[in-house]
Chain A
């Protein structure tokens, strides 16, 4: 295999996938080289196969929907579980503040 075939390889592959001529510096070589032509043919088939893979759908795991929905439920429950203690703490703190303010209020001497 010649060095020039190796240098031309990416251009031959691109040409096969894009359906365009091989880039100019390697065009003359590729047109006269059996090895490069064989590569071009092989890569054209490959490109066709790659494109046809877009019509293929692999089955997702059976529990994907369950995993997604239960994660969302979990996040919601977590948010709820945070909300309650935060609300209770806020209520306790405001009551404590009210007591402190009440205790520290200036008193008039009778």
Chain B
């Protein structure tokens, strides 16, 4: 049995225990998926404090919805969907109260290729500009770019999660990419 299979079995067991109300098992799942949920939240909402709130809310919603989790998709995929919905709700709520600033990403992991000195500088520089350009995108456009181009969701999945039509998702993506390209060009 390979390691991922062992991990999958372990996760399945944790899910099953958590579904029967075992909080310790759920805490283990939170430890396992917390970073992943937070990362997606951070990319979707930009602001680190709001991302932490989104991650917290997502995991609480997940606990409540866990009895309905049938395991058709991977837990991480299911959590991603809840994160997108939660981020959307929190942003709407926040927008009602005040204008939000989008902080830059500062504590990201080293990018791939950063261990090649000849490439590292260029990659880091591009990545820094890319994050700024992503943050500068209008929220709805940023979300489609993140979900499609980072997480490789299908247009249909994005449309479903964001409550828009598939063609609206495509149009939004089309505009977002063009805007991203222009913004990167301007910052080069």
The answer to whether A42 has its CB under 8 Å from any CB of chain B is: yes
The 4 closest A-B pairs by CB, nearest first: A60-B38, A10-B178, A13-B177, A50-B149
In chain A, positions 49-102 with a C-beta closer than 8 Å to chain B are 49-61, 64-65, 67-69, 71-72
Q: With both chains docked as a complex, state the minimum distance between the C-beta of A37 and any C-beta of chain B, in angstroms.
A: 13
A18 to B165, CA, bound (A): 20
Chain B residues bordering chain A, tally (CB within 8 A) = 44
- Nearest residue (CB) in A for B106 is A58
Q: Which B residue's beta carbon lies closest to that of A59?
A: B35
Cross-chain contact A72 with B63 (CB below 8 angstroms): yes
Q: How many A-B residue pairs have CB under 8 A?
A: 108
Minimum distance in angstroms from B155 CB to a CB of chain A: 12
Given known A54-B152, A59-B107, contact A64–B56 (CB-CB < 8 A)? yes
Question: Which residues in A have some Cβ–Cβ distance to B below 8 Å?
Answer: 9-10, 12-14, 17, 39, 42-43, 45-47, 49-61, 64-65, 67-69, 71-72
Are A46 and B27 closer than 8 Å at their CB atoms?
A: no
Please, how many angstroms separate the alpha-carbon atoms of A57 and B126 in the complex? 18
**Within the assembled complex, what's the spacing in Å between the Cα atoms of A47 and B180?**
10
Q: Give Cα A23–Cα B27 distance, bound, in whole angstroms.
A: 49
